């Protein structure tokens, strides 16, 4: 699978975990140069507390377009150390 935004591949891996229709990429498969920490946090009753990144490509910022669970609850342990995308980031087979 690969994640692209602004005509740039920002993540690529054959090892994604799909939860609620979202592909969670291994953190090491995501280009850290495209991620900028965000102050946004949300809570999911069964996954836990999510933190966000802005996705930055070619000088353009897609706010809060990536998220991860630093300490997911046991029910979501499979997404630990993984990052998912939304807000226009395209996920497709590589």
* Per-residue pLDDT tens digits of the chain, which is 94 residues long: 999 999 999 999 999 999 999 999 999 999 999 999 999 999 999 999 999 999 999 999 999 999 999 999 999 999 999 999 999 999 999 8
The number of distinct structural domains making up the chain is 1
Query: What range defines the domain where residue 24 resides?
Result: 2-92
Q: Which has the closest alpha carbon to 10: 65, 50, 51, 49?
A: 65
Q: Quickly list DSSP for 45-75.
A: TTTEEEEEEEEEETTEEEEEEEEE-SS--GG
CATH number at residue 46: 2.170.150.40
Instruction: Say whether pTM exceeds 0.95.
Output: yes
- Looking at residue 94, its pLDDT comes to 85
């Amino acid at each position: 699978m690969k994640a692209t935004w602004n005509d740039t591949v920002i993540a690529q891996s054959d090892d994604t975990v799909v939860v609620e229709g979202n592909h969670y990429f291994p953190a090491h498969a995501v280009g850290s140069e495209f991620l900028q920490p965000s102050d946004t946090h949300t809570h999911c009753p069964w996954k836990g507390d999510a933190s966000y990144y802005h996705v930055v490509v070619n000088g353009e910022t897609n706010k809060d377009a990536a998220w991860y669970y630093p300490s997911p609850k046991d029910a979501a342990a499979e997404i630990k150390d993984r990052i998912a995308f939304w807000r226009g980031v395209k996920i497709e087979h590589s």
